[in-house]
Amino acid sequence: MLLALCGALVHYFNNIAPGMIASDRRLKAASNALMARIAVDGRTATLDAALDGKAPLPSADSVDFSVRDQSGRLLLGDDSIPAVSIADAAAQMFAVVQLNGRSKRALTTRFDTSAGILLVTTVDLAAGSEPAARYGLMSTLLWDFVQLDITLVLVWLGIQLGLRPMKKLRDEIARRSVLDLRPIDEGSVPREIAPVVVTLNRLFQMLRMSVQSQQQFIANTAHQLRTPITGMQAQLDILAAEPAAAPIKNRLATLQEAIRHLAHSANQLLMLARADPAVNVASKNQPVSLKTIAEEVVAKFFDRALQAGIDLGADIEPATIVADPSLLDDMLSNLVDNALKYTPAGGIVTVSAGERGGKPYVAVEDTGPGIPEQERERVRQRFYRMPNSPSYGSGLGLAIVDEIARLYHAELTIAAGTGGRGTMASVQFSEQPRLG
């Protein structure tokens, strides 16, 4: 736009400059011819028009003139030419005057005579080139801006068409979930961005290898922890059954409880590590029946509920989501474990699953003491335990549930149970992750 404007201005001045130079020359020649033929006598002035070898007077069709004294009184010439003031130090001054409603270029010259200073003003009556130049300027500007608009439209269309492959690649990556690390097809992208796709595929491969290493480390850690802890529990159980251990039976019972607590904490830490999104970007997701998962979890905790005198029931309807079955098992197991832990004997724990509003959900409701409203956000934090909690527990149960829920774009809701009694912990699934 600036270049177009500068070009139009240059074009304008190139058109108007020759006309202005020619006009200035005519005015100077006319002014010199007039001053050579003016004769002053007192307060009157006359013009000698005789052909005596002096410069000829300008034609009346081309140049008009007026001669005034310093007070502005007209001595010779056209009275319609306005008086033009001139600085004392100036000998000549060009100006634009209004003559018969039109703008004309004029030259005012200081003329020193024996009767005082006179002001000779000559006006160029010839049709100047300035109006035409102005018209040319406006037409040039208009055409330049039309060209600019057309060019911008063409550039925009070119960019849109040129970036279409980039947008396609962007949309393909945006459609992927964090669980999808498949390589991008390098043959479907323009060669200009092929190096970017190659680099992305290399990054995806490195992430897959890193995640696999983490998963392998977690599996090895689980095996290395569980095996000795299970052995210790078995040895303590055998030792406690020996008659010779009767004097220290209470100490053995305390040690057995501590070993069970250690085993529980180790299992929860491993669950929390497996629920980390950084580890699960390469997890093997598949369609999972929530009904099957819920039934297996209820069966797993049935004996514990029976021993604690708690009525563990289920209200399950068919529902399917795409997820890692082991993570869903961990999530629901922690909800049921928490409910059984805080529900007193004679209480009720109900596991429900199905669809609510067209979206899959799982929920666990108990008749325990409940969770105060001001504590419902804090219990999601790792290692946080409410005041007056049982002596066992690591404060990781609901943190694990929350991590797994967020991994699958689900929402964990903690509220009071039916009739304001106990706790209802519900996980509502919404957006389903895509298969990786």
- 118 with 137: CB under 8 angstroms? no
| Res 436: pLDDT | 39
The domains of the chain are located at 2-132, 175-283, 285-436
pLDDT by residue, tens only, the chain of 436 residues = 787 777 777 776 776 667 777 788 888 888 888 888 888 777 777 777 666 667 777 777 788 888 888 788 888 888 888 888 887 767 888 888 888 777 788 889 888 887 778 888 988 887 555 566 566 667 777 777 888 889 899 999 998 888 888 888 888 888 776 667 788 888 777 787 888 888 888 988 888 787 777 667 766 676 667 677 777 778 888 888 888 877 887 888 888 777 777 776 777 667 666 666 555 554 567 888 999 999 999 999 999 899 999 999 999 999 988 888 888 888 899 899 889 988 999 999 999 999 988 889 999 999 988 888 888 888 888 777 776 666 555 667 788 888 888 888 888 999 988 888 889 999 999 855 443 3
| Res 74: pLDDT | 85
| Res 397: pLDDT | 76
| Res 16: pLDDT | 66
| pTM, full prediction | 0.48
| Res 95: pLDDT | 85
What is the C-alpha to C-alpha distance for residues 103 and 100, in angstroms, rounded to an integer?
A: 8
CATH 1.20.120 fits domain 2-132: no
| Res 434: pLDDT | 41
- CATH number at 285-436: 3.30.565.10
| Res 154: pLDDT | 93
